[in-house]
Structure 1
Amino acid sequence: MPSLLFKCIPFIHPKPHPSPLSLVTAMSTKTKTRLRGVVFDMDGTLTVPVIDFSSMYKAVLGETEYRRIRQENPSGIDILHLIESWSPDEQRKANEIILDFERLGRERLQIMPGAAELCGFLDSKKIRFATECVLAWSIREVMIWSDRRGLITRNVKEAVDLYHQRFEIVFSPALSREFRPYKPDPAPLLHICSTWDVQPNEVMMVGDSLKDDVACGKRAGAFTCLLDEKGRYCSADFTELDLEPDFKVASLAEVHSLLETTFDLMP
């Protein structure tokens, strides 16, 4: 699998949040907090979930091994890190299976309801926002969009390129899994903060995964917003993983409302 080497990622020392925040459903505040950037996950956040991850894991691991690992990791399987310890031949076969599932996902790619409206709102505020991918457009286009939005994903570059082309919404920086290390490591989020020249505590990470997106944001020192459309997560999950998001929402429309009412959005 091709890789992009980032020889030096400046480390930004995260500053603590001005005050601890509860979930959005229980939050009340009088003073708006400054926010200069929003970083999005892609699959399941900016796009409608279409990849059957359970079937993919079973295809890679086998039914018996999948059940065993799933029992040991009730919060979810990190298949990318898991196969890194395998032999080169085993990794090659596993990656071929993963890529096949991702190709099927690209064929059924759908934008998440509210994504276009949310991006338009952020554009109107001149705020930076990012997603998980590697931007493959011209240098001039990167320059045009670099002050507006970005992304971080564990999917491949081809998926991000397709999102840009099909929905005409461009994110920059956009880091895919070709950027190493990937989520839940905070490196991609810290890289985006460094590129924007902002502190992590001036940025929010939005995603649908507690163990990947929220963990990445927390480790970087950013605000975190968990998109939980179907109510998969509860307080017990937060306690078990010691990962409580600052906010929990059920739609991107709620993210829009949260940003507008709670934060002072600044470029």
Structure 2
Amino acid sequence: MHLLPSRALLFSSPRFSSSSLSFMANFSSVPPKARLRGVVFDMDGTLTVPVIDFQAMYKAVLGEEVYLSVKSNNPSGIDILHHIENWRPEKQQKAYQIIADFERQGLDRLQIMPGAAELCGFLDSKKIRRGLITRNVKASVDLFHLRFGMAFSPALSREFRPCKPDPAPLLHICSTWEVQPNEVMMIGDSLKDDVVCGKRAGAFTCLLDETGRYTSPDFADVDLKPDFKVSSLSEVHSLLEANFDLTP
């Protein structure tokens, strides 16, 4: 967790006793909370319930043998978009079509993640901005906004390049909001995409780990770890109040 430098408090009034000054000196050594001015969310698996069978999608794109090989070399997850970006055009087009078919099937089962609406209401009450970055297509983002009536702005889909885990989309949102990255938190369910994007940008990061999959030893030695980890979005409300200055 990022902590800002502590600021000394000076008391010169004679009405303070030595014991009071000692107490205040100790109190003043507690670093102030970092100010939070915006939260950027991932969509699939974070704001919406996971409905895409990514393992089946990766196998369909890569083939069983290549999938197993790539998976063994990438324990934190497969970056399928990065993997296919240098394929020859006709092969790449076929891969994108397979991915789009899986995503289209997912749209029919789109559900809001428990706690998402309440968390967004809390952020709105504190006048904290809400943004969205997804590797899904713009049509999915548009449907999400339409179906659940929750507006995120900016809301960047994979048409924005480069996409996560590159920090570019998050830095773009910070620039649009005219805030510093260390005044923003990135929340997502992917260590390799959301956390890496946030950490590279210089933002706070919160990993949503509903199933506890990231407690596996496979993830113990990853270079970029989240500042916070929760098992549900309902935990984020109290986490923000405890660790950040939420003054509008």
| Global fold match (TM > 0.5) | yes
- What CA distance in whole angstroms lies between the structure 1 residues aligned with 2:119 and 2:36? 15
Matched residues in 1 for 2:73 and 2:216: separation?
Answer: 20
Q: Which amino acid aligns with 2:103?
A: E
Asked whether the equivalents of residues 47 and 109 of structure 1 are also in contact (C-alpha less than 8 Å), the reply is yes
**Matching of residue 242 in structure 1 with residue 223 in structure 2:** yes
- How far off is 1:79 after superposition? 0.4
Instruction: Select 2:171's aligned residue among 187, 190, 195.
Output: 190
RMSD: 1.7
Q: How many Å separate the matches in 1 of 2:33 and 2:185?
A: 14
| C-alpha contact 1:238 1:244 (8 A) present in aligned 2 | no
Matches within 5 A, 1:47-126: 47-126=48-127
Q: Which runs of 5+ in 1 are unaligned?
A: 1-15, 21-28, 131-150
**How far apart are 1:33 and its partner, in Å?**
2.1
For the 8 Å contact 1:183–1:212, the answer to whether it is kept is: yes
1:83/1:91 contact within 8 Å kept: yes
Pairing 1:227–2:208 present: yes
1:176 pairs with 2:161: no
Give the superposition deviation at 1:180. Answer: 0.1
Structure 2 residue matching 1:180: 3-state secondary structure: coil
The DSSP-based 3-state class of the residue aligned with 1:241 is: coil
Rounded to whole Å, the distance in 2 between the matches of 1:80 and 1:238 is 22
Q: Please give the alpha-carbon distance, in whole angstroms, between the structure 1 residues aligned to 2:52 and 2:190.
A: 14
Fraction of identical pairs, as percent: 76
Number of the residue aligned with 2:45: 44
Tell me what 1:265 maps to.
246
Q: Give the letter aligned to residue 200 of structure 2.
A: R
Judge conservation of contact 1:214–1:226 (CA < 8 Å) in 2: yes
Name the structure 2 match of 1:156: 137
For the 8 Å contact 1:45–1:227, the answer to whether it is kept is: yes
Quote the offset at 1:129 in angstroms: 1.3
Partner of 2:2: 17
- In structure 2, how many angstroms separate the alpha carbons of the residues matched to 1:224 and 1:235? 19
Q: Structure 2, unaligned stretches of length 5 or more? A: 6-29
Q: What corresponds to 1:165 in structure 2?
A: 146
What is the deviation of 1:259? 1.2
Q: How big is the shift at 1:31?
A: 3.8
Correspondent of 1:199 among 180, 186, 193: 180
SS in 2 for 1:171: coil
**Structure 1, residues 128-157: CA drift from partner, whole Å, max 9, x if none?**
111xxxxxxxxxxxxxxxxxxxx1000000
Counterpart of 2:20? none
Deviation per residue, 1:221-263 (Å, 9 max, x gap): 0000000000011274554221211000000000111112221
| Counterpart amino acid of residue 246 in structure 2 | L
CA offset digits 1:84-142 (Å, max 9, x no partner) = 11000000000000000000110100000000000111111111111xxxxxxxxxxxx
- TM-score of the two chains, using structure 2 as the length reference: 0.87
Give how far 1:265 is off: 1.3
Deviation at residue 75 of structure 1 after TM alignment: 1.3
**In structure 1, C-alpha distance between the alignment counterparts of 2:217 and 2:183, rounded to whole Å:** 28
1:118 alignment partner, SS class: helix
Q: Whole-Å Cα distance in 1 between the matches of residues 152 and 239 of structure 2?
A: 21
Q: Is the 8 A contact 1:51 1:102 kept in 2?
A: yes
Distance, in Å, in 1 between the alignment partners of 2:106 and 2:127 is 32
Aligned length in residues: 224
Q: Distance in 2 between matches of 1:84 and 1:46?
A: 27
| Greater relative contact order (CA < 8 Å, ≥ 6 in sequence) | 1
* Aligned equivalents of 1:102, 1:71: Cα separation in 2: 25
Moved more, 32-41 or 174-183: 32-41
Query: How far apart, in 1, do the equivalents of 2:240 and 2:140 lie?
Result: 27
